[in-house]
């Protein structure tokens, strides 16, 4: 069959959604650099800036090479491009065969449905069969051109790999992977995908990448929309309709392979490695896959205006009323979580207080030898309930204490997080935690002084046995009346000295342990992960704040007859050091770690779990499939930039000289509507 017998019209560009038209209009308005008769136009230089992907900034020749396609877009051959022509060109690039259609438009030079066979022959080398087919034909149709270009693309991939594998081992050095893959897929050199490519080096002791895996990687990154469509199929198959965060949605390789045929098993393996951040990950989160899509999106963003297409990382601003309701919601969850955590570790807290209140430096005169001895004697002398003496006021007070600490920390972190990057600096994390610790003292100090006096009552009652004047057990209400409003804040300076550094250390450590140790964002953190993160963060925070806690306890406890009386923060620190030594400042430190570590682990675990189970009304993240579509809504439209890059690479690799084989009239034909 001759080319004339197999002619077929060029595919018409698809109708663009209104949102894409608005986006392309915005790009045009940003890049247009000239005006004629009151209308704005693009010159070839501006056109190149508008269609060149960000990845072209790092390529030889840079974005200026894309000006070669200006003649295809300039249907009227005026030397400038209107907005309508620019949008029509983008519509052409939205077609599935755009990577072949664009070179065809460049080479055809006015032939609507055929191309000079000599020009085509330069693009399909070294395919001998294709060369033989074309050598005796003056023209080739677009359908033939597209088919041969598809085959040529596969040949180029094979030749690129062979060039990086001169030994013929079937593996290429891992150090060459980025450069070779960049020939076929857009990659941001500093992006997430580029950073994780070394994880795919599974051959020769982690120094090389095998040919099958290379093919899977190129296929995956050549069409990122496949990732989105495959993920949507998996989510729909799992029927996840509830409102959850992407980081809470776990997806498995088995689910991908079973639910979608868009990706091969090896492509799924590559995707999960890139998404999870470690080799051959059996599971990853939706957030991890979104991160891969975002990396593809970033590399496809126009070099001239990348900010137009960034996916927002910050939540929309709430109204004053809604923000107030949201903080009340956080406060309530913090109160519930704090109560659970406090009840869980209260016996340890009582032992810690009894140990810190021991004044004697002479071992024989000590009531308790150590924390374990203290625990045993409390149970023996006061019963099991003695371990929970003062728990009632603790639960009443711990609700606002923990609630305000957690709420203020979240509030400060949200305000100090960068709206541009969605990240928070370490210094800002410390400030947020310290502010939360300072605010909680309003509730902490009255709670602590009442709790401590209730906890040491057992000691006082035991020592008063046989005394002429009996001592009556006092209730929390009686203690509050005796202290008065000002008395409830006795030792507040020490409380501030303890709670500010504690919270600054704790919340900063908690955030980084979740992210760096348990890989939050790359997978869903379970109950054990949250518990361990909270417990580990509590260890350094609790122990380093022990001296301030000892001073606070001494200031708030009523001194018994013959015991040293402290007049203030510095006076207490000086006298404790002078009379009992430096070690006295860390009395109860191990007990404090044993109490604070599991308490805050439990509290933070329930705080986050309740947030997951009971999201703030109207603040849900939508179903996973809906959120995926929203986050990647621009990926398919931005793939036009990749098609342009691909087309240019086809011409460049064939050493095609623009203008070769050109007929007398070089005016490009309008793209069929």
Higher pLDDT, 90 or 620: 90
Q: Residue 260: pLDDT above 60?
A: yes
Q: How far apart are CA 126 and CA 148, in angstroms?
A: 12
Question: Nearest Cα to 322, choosing from 617, 614, 608?
Answer: 617
pLDDT at 513: 92
**Angle subtended by helix axes 635-653 and 225-238, to nearest 10:** 150
Phi, psi of 568 (to 5 degrees): -175, -175
Q: How sure is the predictor about 658, in pLDDT bands with cuts at 50, 70 and 90?
A: very low
Q: How far apart are CA 379 and CA 229, in angstroms?
A: 63
Residue pLDDT, tens place only, 543-555: 888 888 888 777 7
Region of residue 218 (phi > 0: left; psi between -120 and 50: alpha; otherwise: beta): alpha
116-125, 285-294, 449-458, 624-633: which has the minimum mean pLDDT? Answer: 624-633
Q: Residue 78: pLDDT above 80?
A: yes
Question: Nearest Cα to 539, choosing from 618, 460, 462, 599?
Answer: 599
Phi, psi of 637 (to 5 degrees): -70, -35
Q: How far apart are CA 182 and CA 188, in angstroms?
A: 9
DSSP letter string over 239-284?
A: T--S---GGG-EEEHHHHHHH-SSS-HHHHHHHHHHHHSSTT-SEE
Question: Nearest Cα to 155, choosing from 180, 126, 135, 177?
Answer: 126
Q: How far apart are CA 43 and CA 628, in angstroms?
A: 37
Q: Residue 432: pLDDT above 90?
A: yes
Q: How sure is the predictor about 288, in pLDDT bands with cuts at 50, 70 and 90?
A: confident
3-state secondary structure 187-213: CCCCCHHHHHHHHHCCECCCCEEEHHH
CB atoms within 10 A of CB 98: 22
pLDDT at 478: 79
Phi, psi of 602 (to 5 degrees): -65, -45
Question: How close are the terminal C-alpha atoms of the chain, in Å?
Answer: 28
Question: Nearest Cα to 16, choosing from 27, 7, 8, 2?
Answer: 27
Q: How far apart are CA 388 and CA 87, in angstroms?
A: 73
State mean pLDDT over 437-447.
79
Do 398 and 447 contact (CB within 8 A), yes or no? yes
Q: How sure is the predictor about 561, in pLDDT bands with cuts at 50, 70 and 90?
A: low
Higher pLDDT, 336 or 62: 336
Question: Nearest Cα to 374, choosing from 391, 386, 360?
Answer: 386
Q: In 523-601, at which residue ranges do the beta strands (DSSP E only) sit?
A: none
Question: If you average pLDDT over each of 57-71, 302-316, 361-375, 565-579, which comes out highest?
Answer: 565-579
CB atoms within 10 A of CB 269: 23
Do 115 and 145 contact (CB within 8 A), yes or no? yes
> How many residues are recorded in the chain?
673
CB atoms within 10 A of CB 478: 13
CB atoms within 10 A of CB 259: 18
CB atoms within 10 A of CB 45: 16
pLDDT at 505: 92
Do 433 and 503 contact (CB within 8 A), yes or no? yes
Question: Nearest Cα to 329, choosing from 16, 611, 43?
Answer: 611
Phi, psi of 302 (to 5 degrees): -60, 135
Q: How far apart are CA 29 and CA 51, in angstroms?
A: 13
246-255, 372-381, 441-450, 644-653: which has the minimum mean pLDDT? Answer: 644-653
Residue pLDDT, tens place only, 337-349: 888 888 887 887 7
DSSP letter string over 91-142?
A: HHHTSTTHHHHHHHHHHHTT-SSEEEHHHHHHHHTT-HHHHHHHTT-SEEEH
State mean pLDDT over 263-281.
88
pLDDT at 56: 58
Residue pLDDT, tens place only, 223-242: 777 888 888 888 877 665 44
pLDDT at 364: 52
CB atoms within 10 A of CB 576: 21
Q: Residue 76: pLDDT above 50?
A: yes
Q: How sure is the predictor about 390, in pLDDT bands with cuts at 50, 70 and 90?
A: confident
CB atoms within 10 A of CB 298: 22
Q: How sure is the predictor about 507, in pLDDT bands with cuts at 50, 70 and 90?
A: very high
Do 490 and 479 contact (CB within 8 A), yes or no? no
Question: What rounded mean pLDDT belongs to the chain?
Answer: 75
State mean pLDDT over 364-376.
75
Query: Which tokens is 288 given?
Result: 């991890």
Name 540's bridge partners: none
With H, G, I as helix, E, B as strand and everything else as coil, classify residue 35.
strand
Count of helix runs (H) and strand runs (E) in the chain: 28, 8
State mean pLDDT over 380-406.
79
With H, G, I as helix, E, B as strand and everything else as coil, classify residue 173.
strand
Q: How sure is the predictor about 519, in pLDDT bands with cuts at 50, 70 and 90?
A: confident
pLDDT at 508: 92
Q: How far apart are CA 424 and CA 512, in angstroms?
A: 11
With H, G, I as helix, E, B as strand and everything else as coil, classify residue 41.
strand
Q: How far apart are CA 602 and CA 409, in angstroms?
A: 17
Q: How far apart are CA 521 and CA 508, in angstroms?
A: 17
Q: Residue 149: pLDDT above 80?
A: no
Q: Residue 311: pLDDT above 70?
A: no
Q: How far apart are CA 663 and CA 386, in angstroms?
A: 101
* Residue entry with tokens 């795919």: 200
CA distances from 448 to 376, 406, 553, 583 (A): 24, 18, 8, 23
pTM score > 0.85 for this model? no
Q: How far apart are CA 490 and CA 452, in angstroms?
A: 12
Residue pLDDT, tens place only, 274-284: 988 888 788 88
Q: How sure is the predictor about 488, in pLDDT bands with cuts at 50, 70 and 90?
A: confident
Do 409 and 438 contact (CB within 8 A), yes or no? no
Question: Nearest Cα to 621, choosing from 364, 273, 315?
Answer: 315
Q: How sure is the predictor about 472, in pLDDT bands with cuts at 50, 70 and 90?
A: low
* Stretch (H or E) spanning 39: strand 39-41
Q: How far apart are CA 132 and CA 114, in angstroms?
A: 18
Q: Residue 330: pLDDT above 70?
A: yes
* Cis preceding linkage at 11, omega within 30: no
Q: Kindly give, in sequence order, each residue whose CB lies less than 8 Å from that of residue 302, ignoring residues fewer than 6 positions away.
A: 27, 31, 49, 50, 51, 52, 53, 54, 308, 309, 641
174-183, 225-234, 597-606: which has the minimum mean pLDDT? Answer: 225-234
Q: Kindly give, in sequence order, each residue whose CB lies less than 8 Å from that of residue 371, ignoring residues fewer than 6 positions away.
A: 351, 352, 355, 588, 590, 591, 594
pLDDT at 435: 92
State mean pLDDT over 265-286.
87
64-78, 296-310, 547-561, 618-632: which has the minimum mean pLDDT? Answer: 618-632
Q: Kindly give, in sequence order, each residue whose CB lies less than 8 Å from that of residue 52, ignoring residues fewer than 6 positions away.
A: 62, 63, 65, 66, 302, 303, 304, 641, 644, 645
């Amino acid at each position: 069959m001759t080319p004339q017998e197999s002619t077929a019209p060029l595919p018409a560009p698809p109708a663009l959604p209104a949102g894409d038209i608005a986006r392309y209009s915005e790009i045009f308005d940003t890049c247009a650099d000239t005006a004629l008769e009151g209308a704005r136009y693009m010159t070839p230089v501006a056109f190149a800036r508008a269609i060149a992907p960000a990845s072209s900034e790092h390529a030889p020749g840079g974005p200026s090479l894309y000006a070669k396609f200006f003649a295809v877009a300039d249907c009227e051959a005026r030397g400038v491009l209107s907005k309508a022509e620019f949008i029509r060109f983008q519509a052409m690039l939205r077609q599935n065969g755009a990577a072949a259609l664009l070179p065809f438009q460049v080479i055809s030079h006015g032939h609507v449905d055929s191309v000079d066979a000599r020009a085509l022959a330069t693009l399909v080398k070294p395919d001998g069969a294709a060369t033989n087919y074309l050598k005796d034909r003056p023209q080739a149709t677009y359908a033939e051109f597209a088919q041969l270009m598809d085959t040529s693309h596969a040949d180029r991939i094979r030749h690129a790999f062979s060039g990086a594998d001169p030994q013929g081992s079937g593996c290429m050095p891992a150090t060459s992977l980025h450069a070779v893959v960049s020939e076929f897929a857009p990659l941001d050199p500093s992006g997430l995908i580029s950073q994780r490519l070394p994880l795919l080096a599974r051959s020769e002791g982690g120094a090389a990448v095998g040919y099958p895996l290379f093919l899977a990687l190129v296929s995956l990154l050549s069409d990122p929309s496949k990732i989105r469509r495959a993920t949507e199929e998996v989510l729909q198959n799992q029927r996840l309709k509830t409102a959850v965060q992407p980081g809470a949605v776990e997806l498995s390789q088995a689910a991908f392979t079973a639910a979608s045929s868009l990706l091969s098993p090896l492509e799924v393996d590559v995707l999960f490695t890139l998404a999870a951040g470690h080799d051959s990950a059996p599971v990853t989160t939706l957030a991890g896959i979104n991160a891969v899509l975002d990396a593809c999106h970033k590399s496809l963003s126009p070099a001239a205006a990348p900010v137009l297409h960034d996916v927002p990382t910050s939540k929309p601003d709430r109204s004053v009323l809604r923000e107030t309701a949201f903080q009340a919601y956080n406060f309530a969850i913090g109160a519930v979580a704090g109560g659970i955590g406090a009840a869980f570790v209260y016996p340890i807290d009582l032992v810690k207080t009894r140990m810190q209140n021991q004044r004697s430096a002479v071992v024989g005169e000590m009531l308790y030898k150590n924390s374990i001895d203290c625990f045993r004697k409390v149970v023996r002398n006061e019963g099991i309930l003695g371990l929970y003496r003062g728990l009632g006021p603790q639960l009443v007070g711990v609700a606002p204490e923990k609630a305000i600490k957690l709420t203020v920390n979240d509030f400060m972190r949200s305000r100090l997080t960068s709206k541009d990057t969605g990240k928070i600096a370490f210094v800002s994390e410390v400030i947020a935690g310290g502010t939360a610790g300072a605010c909680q003292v309003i509730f902490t100090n009255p709670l602590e002084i009442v709790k401590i006096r209730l906890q040491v009552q057992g000691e006082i009652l035991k020592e008063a046995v046989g005394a002429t004047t009996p001592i009556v057990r006092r209730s929390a209400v009686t203690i509050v009346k005796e202290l008065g409003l000002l008395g409830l804040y006795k030792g507040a300076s020490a409380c501030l000295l303890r709670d500010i550094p504690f919270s600054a250390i704790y919340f900063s450590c908690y955030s980084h342990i979740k992210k760096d140790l348990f890989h939050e964002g790359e997978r869903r953190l379970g109950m054990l992960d949250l518990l361990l993160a909270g417990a580990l963060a509590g260890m350094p925070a609790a122990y380093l704040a022990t001296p301030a806690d000892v001073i606070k306890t001494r200031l708030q406890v009523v001194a018994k007859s013959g015991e040293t009386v402290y007049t203030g923060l510095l006076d207490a620190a000086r006298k404790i050091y002078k009379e009992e030594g430096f070690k006295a400042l860390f009395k109860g430190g191990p007990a404090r770690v044993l109490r604070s570590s599991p308490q805050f682990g439990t509290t933070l675990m329930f705080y986050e779990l309740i947030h997951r189970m009971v999201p703030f009304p109207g603040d849900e993240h939508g179903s996973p499939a809906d959120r995926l579509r929203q986050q990647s809504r621009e990926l398919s439209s931005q793939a036009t930039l990749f098609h342009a890059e691909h087309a240019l690479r086809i011409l460049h690799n064939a050493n095609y000289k623009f203008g070769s084989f050109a007929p007398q009239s070089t005016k490009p034909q309008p793209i069929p509507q």
